[in-house]
Amino acid sequence: MQKSEELIGKKVLVTAGATYEPIDPVRFIGNRSSGKTGAALAEEFYLRGAEVYLIYGNIHVPLPTYSGIKKIYTPTAQQMFDVCVKLFTDVDMAVLAAAVADYTPIQFSTVKIKKEDGEMTLHLKKTPDILKTLGEQKKQNQILAGFALETNCLIENAQKKLTSKNADVIFANICSEENPAFHVDENEIVALFKNNQMKKLGKNKKYILAEKMVDELVMLLHDKI
Ligand code: C5P
């Protein structure tokens, strides 16, 4: 089922899910992202005719089954970074919906770390920032979209992210008791654009919000052409 042809000839990269940063063979640093939004976005882009690369980490939803969506599994931030940087030069748009871990252990223990008495210290280093790096590499005709999930000062932080990462749009979703955002079907999203325009996409099922986000991104892409 193809819904439209509006993105025929366009290539889109979507990231989805959580990266898991390994501590030892059985433990990792991760987060609660399910990958639902990223998977829905990839499917929606595909149904509108785009050639889609879905770069996914650890997800808790079925992957889109369309064989036309190229799926690449990147369990860690570094692996996701390497694939995204390589593919970015070849795409018209990148939508980074993955919840990438901000920190990763400096050392990976090849054997399971034994429990000992007292406290334990884990030394962490920052992961590479995919959104920021793609923002630095972005060409004039490319669109870059990121996400912001905050528990407070959402709009202010999303606006800062828009500028500091050189994105064209940031989709901001608040994480609160009423809108937990992770592992649920619904979400509430506000889109913030480069020209300071702000658009409420409302509270809805994640797949409906994916349609609305793709509508906005199609308009941005057409503006650039
Ligand atoms: O800075 P923060 O992690 O809140 O930014 C979230 C946005 O940045 C998301 O779009 C996420 O996919 C992206 N991101 C990234 N690489 C990182 C961290 C976040 O691409 N290392």
Residue nearest to atom 2 of ligand 1 (CA): 148
How far, in Å, from the CA of 104 to the mean position of ligand 1? Answer: 14
- Position 95 pLDDT exceeds 70: yes
Which pTM was predicted? 0.94
Domains of the chain: 11-104+124-224 (3.40.50.10300)
- Average pLDDT of the residues in 169-190: 79
- Average pLDDT of the residues in 147-154: 84
**How many whole angstroms separate alpha carbon 173 and alpha carbon 149?**
5
Ligand 1 site, CB within 6 A: 15, 77, 96, 98, 100, 102, 127, 129-131, 146-148, 161
**How many whole angstroms separate alpha carbon 135 and alpha carbon 155?**
20
- Comparing CA positions, the residue from 210, 196, 116 lying closest to residue 159 is 196
In the set 31, 157, 179, 204, the catalytic residue is 31
At residue 225 the predicted structure's pLDDT band, cuts being 50, 70 and 90, is low
Active site residue 31: yes
At residue 149 the predicted structure's pLDDT band, cuts being 50, 70 and 90, is confident
**85 C-beta neighbours (distance < 10 Å), count:** 14
pLDDT tens digit sequence for 45-79: 999 999 999 999 999 999 999 999 999 999 999 99
- Position 192 pLDDT exceeds 90: yes
